[in-house]
Amino acid sequence: MAESNYKSPHILNASSNLLGLCFIVLTSIHVLNLKESTFIDDVAAFAFVLFLASSVLSFISLRSKKPMGERFEKIADIIFMSGLLLIFITAIIIVFNIVK
């Protein structure tokens, strides 16, 4: 496979899956009426937005010509890693709340 758009299919697949995970977390927090988890709710919502942006940018990268496609791919990669970090922080917060 060419150097251009090499990571975009992987970013699109992973970010769309994690987008669904964030949606499940947000929905379960609202369904369970967890009042004390507003910080978790905010972090998961921000991660949701990041994964949505990463999905859109990686899709645009797949459809773009080489110079712009590479730029969109790099931006999608950075946004994806930021969302992944937020999901990790959310998981740590949930684990520490369960342990307490």
User: What is the biggest distance separating any 2 CA atoms in the chain, rounded to whole angstroms?
Assistant: 52
pLDDT tens digits for range 55-99: 999 999 989 888 888 999 999 999 999 999 998 987 887 788 754
pTM (predicted TM-score): 0.81
3-state secondary structure of 49: helix
Q: How far is residue 50's CA from residue 58's CA, in Å, rounded to a whole number?
A: 12
Read off the pLDDT of residues 2-45 as tens digits, 9 standing for 90 and up. Answer: 454 477 888 889 999 998 988 888 888 778 876 666 777 888 88
Cβ atoms of 40 and 93 within 8 Å: the answer is yes
List pLDDT tens digits, range 45-61.
Answer: 899 999 999 999 999 99
Predicted pLDDT at 83: 93
Contact (Cβ atoms closer than 8 angstroms) between residue 27 and residue 53: no
What is the pLDDT, as a whole number, of residue 1? 40
